[in-house]
Amino acid sequence: MAQHHTLERADFDALLGALRRRGYEIVGPRVRDGAIVYDRLHSADELPVGWTDEQEAGRYRLKKRDDEALFGYVVGPHSWKKFLFPPHLRLWRARRNGRGFEVEPEPLPDTKYAFLGVRSCELHAIFVQDRVFLGEKFHDPVYKALRERAFLVAVNCTQAGGTCFCASMNTGPKAQEGFDLALTEVVEGGRHYFVVEVGSERGLDVLRDVPHREAHPDEVARAEARVKQAEKRMGRALETRGIKELLYRNLEHPRWDEVAQRCLSCANCTMVCPTCFCSTVEDVTDLQGEAAERVRRWDSCFSLEFSYIHGGSLRQSVKARYRQWMTHKLATWLDQFGTSGCVGCGRCITWCPVGIDITEEVRAIRASDGARANRGGEGGQPR
């Protein structure tokens, strides 16, 4: 049985201090631009103290709580992938040297991040990206350098959001592994404390430098009760039984046409998704032709150019692009990486401008499993 410790709210800044002394750049939640986003932190006062969020399909609002909880929200538009898999990355640059060019490789990053407030679904999203970027045969050197140094402070969810369905995906709300420290926040009867679990030697080393004590069984029970309550109050649910085969045999289901009439192909869902990893590479030069550089930036399967090959785009319709995204996320990802590409965080539902709900789309297809459109694409292929 895991040993639990108690960290009082008054000593929380000591945790941040212990991380800073070890050279970590602390990143965590803070309120900015009407949302809770992930950014650099210098003290616990910058956390979203006393704030929560209300989320529904196509809707996100901040709201004041009736207590001073530090982590009394769910998840916002940012995910940790923006730090491990940067949205814009220079791969190399070259400068003119006489009649030729001298290539300057981009040095690997040496930043040591401490991620504060990682939810269980987000831990699972990092594990998914590990499979993508740290494969047995190939690995991304930038991701590898940042990931190996990262210190993860997980926070167990004590409330569920309106678009959360991590319980359906077996990815939350309690962090089970992959963290250095895991916290469960309890605000009750004038007390404010955190029940802490240690997940690594690095975590234990940091905790030794922070005032704490062994947790009382009643404190652990209160913390666990809050997590169980969150599990029962998920805003969404997704039936995953046979989902891969369900989608494979319904590639021409009429529902794809219906959702395409609403989808703006804006790529919001892929930008906020913590597991999407598509990128493109661009070569750019200065106006004088003296320097050039190659950059990698995030891309999306919702863009028309994403599937462009000589002769045109393979997925010209919104229907084809939405179907590609959802089918990859919930079906072909399993074949490719041995895991689902969805962790149930609900961001794609919340931040869709027209409120398209991935759980609703699966439910509609399952309800009329086997239905087919009366027409097919060119050459009999799904359009």
- Write down which residue in 178, 210, 232 finishes a domain: 232
Q: Running DSSP on this structure, what letter comes out for residue 161?
A: -
pLDDT (0 to 100) of residue 380: 36
pLDDT (0 to 100) of residue 372: 52
The residue among 351, 56, 346 whose CA lies nearest residue 172 is: 346
Q: Which residues pair with 282 in a beta bridge?
A: 295
Q: What is the maximum span of the chain, computed from C-alpha positions, in angstroms?
A: 75
Q: Is 145 in the same domain as 29?
A: yes
Asked, for residue 136, whether it belongs to a domain, the answer is: yes
Asked, for residue 11, whether it belongs to a domain, the answer is: yes
Q: Which residues pair with 6 in a beta bridge?
A: 195, 213
Q: Which segments in the chain show pLDDT lower than 70?
A: 1-2, 370-383
Q: How far is CA 298 from the centre of its chain?
A: 14
Helix 318-327 to helix 255-262 angle (10° resolution) is 110
Q: Is 223 in the same domain as 303?
A: no
Q: Is 158 in the same domain as 250?
A: no
CA distance linking residue 237 with residue 226, whole number of Å: 19
Q: Is 177 in the same domain as 56?
A: yes
Helix 255-262 to helix 358-367 angle (10° resolution) is 150
Asked, for residue 362, whether it belongs to a domain, the answer is: yes
What total of structural domains would you count in the chain?
Answer: 2
Q: Is 198 in the same domain as 319?
A: no
Q: Is 157 in the same domain as 266?
A: no
pTM higher than the cut 0.95: no
Asked, for residue 211, whether it belongs to a domain, the answer is: yes
Q: Is 349 in the same domain as 371?
A: yes
Residue 66 CB-density burial (10 A; 0-12 exposed, 13-18 middle, 19+ buried): exposed
**11 backbone dihedrals φ, ψ, rounded to 5°:** -105, 10
Asked, for residue 237, whether it belongs to a domain, the answer is: no
CA distance linking residue 37 with residue 48, whole number of Å: 9
Q: Is 210 in the same domain as 303?
A: no
Q: Is 173 in the same domain as 285?
A: no
Cβ atoms of 172 and 121 closer than 8 Å: yes
Continuous H helices in 233-254: 243-248
- Write down which residue in 194, 213, 232 finishes a domain: 232
Residue 325 CB-density burial (10 A; 0-12 exposed, 13-18 middle, 19+ buried): buried
Structural domain boundaries, residue 14: 4-232
**116 backbone dihedrals φ, ψ, rounded to 5°:** -110, 120
CA distance linking residue 325 with residue 332, whole number of Å: 10
**185 backbone dihedrals φ, ψ, rounded to 5°:** -85, 135
Asked, for residue 383, whether it belongs to a domain, the answer is: no
117 dihedral zone (left: phi>0; alpha: psi -120 to 50; beta) = left
Asked, for residue 320, whether it belongs to a domain, the answer is: yes
- Write down which residue in 179, 202, 232 finishes a domain: 232
Q: Is 32 in the same domain as 98?
A: yes
pLDDT (0 to 100) of residue 309: 83
Q: Running DSSP on this structure, what letter comes out for residue 365?
A: H
Q: Which amino acid is at 154?
A: A
Residue 319 CB-density burial (10 A; 0-12 exposed, 13-18 middle, 19+ buried): buried
Cβ atoms of 182 and 199 closer than 8 Å: yes
Q: Is 130 in the same domain as 174?
A: yes
Contacts of 256 (CB under 8 A, 6+ apart): 319, 322, 323, 373
pLDDT (0 to 100) of residue 378: 36
Asked, for residue 274, whether it belongs to a domain, the answer is: yes
- Please count the CA atoms within 13 angstroms of the CA of 301 that sit on its side-chain side: 19
Q: Is 249 in the same domain as 227?
A: no
Return the exposure string of 250-278: e unless at least 16 CB atoms fall within 10 Å of the residue's CB, then b: bbbbebbbebbeebebebbbbbbbbbbbe
pLDDT (0 to 100) of residue 371: 54
Cβ atoms of 53 and 65 closer than 8 Å: no
